[in-house]
Amino acid sequence: MCPMHCNDASSTLRLNKAIAASGLCSRRKADDLIAQGRVTVNGRSVMEMGLRIDPQSDLVSVDGDPITSLNPARSDHLYLLMHKPVQVVCTARDPQSRTTVLDLLPTSMRRRRPVPVGRLDYFSQGLLLLTTHGELVYRLTHPKWHVPKVYKVLVRGLVTEAKLQRMQQGMQLAEGEHLAPVEVTSTKAGPNTAWLSMGLIQGINRQIRRMCRDLDLTIVKLIRIREGPIDLGDLPSGKTRELSVSEVQSLFAAVEIDPGHLDTSRMKQDLP
C-alpha cells in the first residue's frame, strides 16, 4: 500500500483532515502530531500535513497505535454535553494527576475517546461539548465560524455603567489584546455582588477572568450556559448526556457541516 494516491484524488484525503475525521483530535492537533514525527503511514514516518492518503486502504498510526477508522463519513460518532464541575481539567491526561473531564465519563463513552470542544478553565464550570467528530471540533473552535458562547458570571465589586460600556464597545486587555464587543447585562445579586450575563464570540485565553481583573471585579462563580444552539439546561454538575438528533443537526448547521451522513438510528431521539 502506498500513501501517495495521485491518480484518484476523489478517494483520498489530506492526512491531517483524515486524522481529525477519525475523532482522535482536532485538525490543528493533527498538524502538531505530524510535525512532531509521531504519525506513520503504512509504517513510514511522515511529516507532511498535506500528504494525501486513502482512508479505506492506508494504515495510519499515532505513536505506534493504529487509527482504526479514518472514514470521515462514519455515522456512529459520539456527541456529548457535560456539565463540567470546578476543579476538573479539560484534557485527556493531566501531569499533575488532577481529575479530567474524561474521568467523569462512563467507561463505555470514555473508550470511544471523545475530544473536548475547547476549554473551560480549572475553576470554571458549565457546558462542555465532547465528540469523536474531528471536523466538528475543528469548526466549533475555529474563529472563522464565530460560534457564540454565553456565560453567567457572579462578581464581587462595583458594576458601573461605564464598565459595562467598556465591555460592550470592545475593551483592550492589560496585556494588549483588543477584544471584540461583548454582549453583557448586569443584575444585582447582593450588597456588593452582581450576576453578569456575557455573550462572547472570541476564544481569547481566560478572557472573562482577565476582563474582570482589568475592571476591578472579582469573579466568585463562572458558568458557561450556552454554546451556539446548545443550552446547558438543568443538567446537574458532573453529569453527561448524549445530544439529541435535532441538537446535533443544529450544531452542524451552525458550522456549515453537511448533515447527509448523520445516522440518526443510533442517536438519542428528540422527545415528542
Q: Where are the alpha helices (DSSP H) in 217-272?
A: 245-254
**26-30 long-range CB contacts below 8 Å, 24 or more apart?**
26/115, 26/134, 26/137, 26/138, 26/141, 27/134, 27/135, 27/138, 28/138, 28/141, 30/134
- The bridge status of strand 230-231 relative to strand 183-190 is unpaired
Residues 123 and 208: their CA atoms lie apart, in Å, by 12
Residue pair 67/60 in contact (Cβ under 8 Å)? The answer is yes
Residue pair 22/58 in contact (Cβ under 8 Å)? The answer is no
Annotated catalytic residue within 121, 216, 263, 270: 121
Catalytic residue list contains 121? yes
- If we measure between CA atoms, which residue out of 220, 185, 183, 182 comes closest to residue 204? 182
Residue pair 14/50 in contact (Cβ under 8 Å)? The answer is yes
For the annotated catalytic residues, the residue numbers are: 121
